[in-house]
Amino acid sequence: MSWACPYCGNPQASPDVCLHCGRNPSAPRRICPTCKMMTPKSERACWHCGGVFTSELSWKIPVVILVIVVSAILQFVIRGMH
């Protein structure tokens, strides 16, 4: 069975490793927002255009910290009322 690598487009016969780019074709992937090409999720930059990906945690960490601080303040205020 022949198919093409989702990253480089090279025709392949093995689903385990691309013989051209060396990537695992079944690994989780994402689309580069700059060039719209497929890139493995584990890579920090696009192999095609060099665009750097931002972390998916970049917005979550400040939100978690804010929730912890607000809950601590509310707990202090509620205990002060009694």
Residue 63's pLDDT band (cuts 50, 70, 90): very high
What's the pLDDT tens digit per position in 31-61? 898 999 888 888 888 888 988 888 777 788 8
Residue 65's pLDDT band (cuts 50, 70, 90): very high
Alpha-carbon distance of 77 to 7, in angstroms, equals 54
Do the beta carbons of residue 78 and residue 52 sit within 8 Å? no
pLDDT of 26 over the 80 cut: yes
Structure tokens at 20: 């051209």
